[in-house]
Amino acid sequence: MTEEVPYQSIDSTKSAYEPEETQPQIEKSATESTPLTPSSSIHERHRVFAPLNIPLYRRRQTLTILVWWLLPWTCLYISLLCLRSNNSYIFYGVVAYIIWMALFRNFTRRGGIRQQWLRRLAWWKWFAEYFPIHLHKTCELPPDRSYIFGCHPHGIISLGAFGNFATEATDFEHIFPGINIRLLTLSSNFRFPFYDLFLSMMGLCDSSKESCNYILKQGNGNSLVLILGGAKEALDARPSDEYILTLKNRKGFIKIGLTNGASLVPVFSFGENDLYAQVSNPRGSKIRQLQNYLQRKMGYSLPLFNGRGVFQYAIGFLPNRRPIDTYVGAPIALPKLEEGKITPEIVDQYHKQYMEALTHLFDTYKAKHGQASATIIYAEADSI
């Protein structure tokens, strides 16, 4: 166990974590995943359907998660309805919007159109209370520089990263004043008409190199969050005491940091991998090969996961209620170098330093969350 550094715990919600007595608990195993079928002895000891006397505030929390899940598909459905409309203004308006998205829109690579009033809505407080999500500060981050926050693990859909860095539900702007942050995501997430506006207003941007450089060049305090494991890491997201992080060959963020002189900040979210069970898909298996092939073709990984439903706890796409505790580590200062002077040796040096800092952050706080024996495995991105 490494020496614990002092930290300030910031509770993102007004109420402490309240376990859902009727919801099956996920057992953690270092060697096998939680089964997807609701026939295990765990489920037999618990009620499958939600009782009718669930408090209204918990229903409200569930509603926010449901809306968040359905929003992109709702936007797509509305777009298709508009394209079938007999009203020429509606039809040509949506056609013009789609053409603009495809040919002229560039704000997703230019810092977005973040709206703080939207990020501060009470709706997102309810979103964070569902799990709940907590943000923990381990040291000060001076606003006189820019930062690249590396967020781990990816989980199935990175709900902790969204709650902490795309909203003000956990009071990021007050915990780290002067840090103007952007959460980066796949460019394919901006292909849904109207949903792209929502994401940009929440402060999300394209994760391309162009987007990263633009944000970091806007001056001190302008920073970004990268979920470094990416879509491939989602295939290893399951309740376990072994955190498999796809980081060994992810070095592009080091080069971006060196180009802009931005400090690296490791971030770890305990509980992110506990939100869903996932079908066993060990590396090299047929199902994993198929998932890798589809991910390469589409840009998305397709983990076969299971959570809960709205009125029952056995099966569904909603996440289980598990606390997510996100720790923001100490910054690693990087020099600002011209691209021609960034050698593989320099990149490897800071990449190793980053992994050591992330491991230290993990080892320092894992016992607080009942995972004293947990370990991080740094893996390469497997391929077919």
Ordered by start, the domain boundaries in the chain are 41-379
| 187: its two tokens | 């460019």
Q: Which of 59-73, 171-185, 292-306, 314-328 shows the lowest per-residue confidence on average (mean pLDDT)?
A: 292-306
| Residue bearing the bigger pLDDT, 13 or 159 | 159
Q: What's the whole-number average pLDDT of the chain? A: 88
Q: Return the pLDDT at 81.
A: 96
Q: Is the pLDDT of residue 276 over 60?
A: yes
| Closest by CA position to 275, among listed 306, 232, 311, 230 | 306
b/e per residue, 1-14, with b = 16+ CB within 10 A?
Answer: eeeeeebeebbbbe
Give residue 18's pLDDT. Answer: 43
How much is the pLDDT for 38? 39
Out of 28-32, 194-198, 255-259, pick the least confident: 28-32
- What mean pLDDT is predicted for residues 16-23? 41
pLDDT for residue 234:
95
pTM score, two decimals?
A: 0.86
- pLDDT at residue 47, rounded to an integer: 65
Q: Crossing angle of helices 344-365/252-260, nearest 10°?
A: 110
pLDDT at 80 over 50: yes
Q: What is the pLDDT of residues 117-166, one digit of tens each?
A: 999 999 999 999 999 999 999 999 999 999 999 999 999 999 999 999 99
Q: What percent of the chain has pLDDT over 70?
A: 87
Q: Is the pLDDT of residue 368 over 70?
A: yes
pLDDT above 50 (res 246): yes
Return d(Cα 163, Cα 298) in angstroms, integer: 26
State the Cα–Cα distance between residues 243 and 269, nearest whole angstrom: 11
pLDDT, residue 153, reads: 98
State the pairing for strand pair 147-152/222-227: parallel
pLDDT of residue 297: 84
Residue 250 pLDDT greater than 70, yes or no: yes
Residue 46: pLDDT band by 50, 70, 90 thresholds?
low
| pLDDT for residue 8 is more than 70 | no
pLDDT band at 33 (very low <50, low <70, confident <90, very high): very low
What integer pLDDT is reported at residue 10 of this predicted model? 37
pLDDT band of 205, cuts 50, 70, 90: very high
pLDDT above 90: percentage of residues in the chain: 79
In the predicted model, what is the mean pLDDT of residues 267-278? 98
pLDDT of residue 330: 98
pLDDT band at 12 (very low <50, low <70, confident <90, very high): very low
Q: Taking 70 as the threshold, does the pLDDT of residue 362 lie above it?
A: yes
* Residue among 54, 76, 131, 377 nearest 236 (CA): 377
pLDDT at 29: 38
Q: How many helices (H) and strands (E) does the chain have?
A: 13, 12
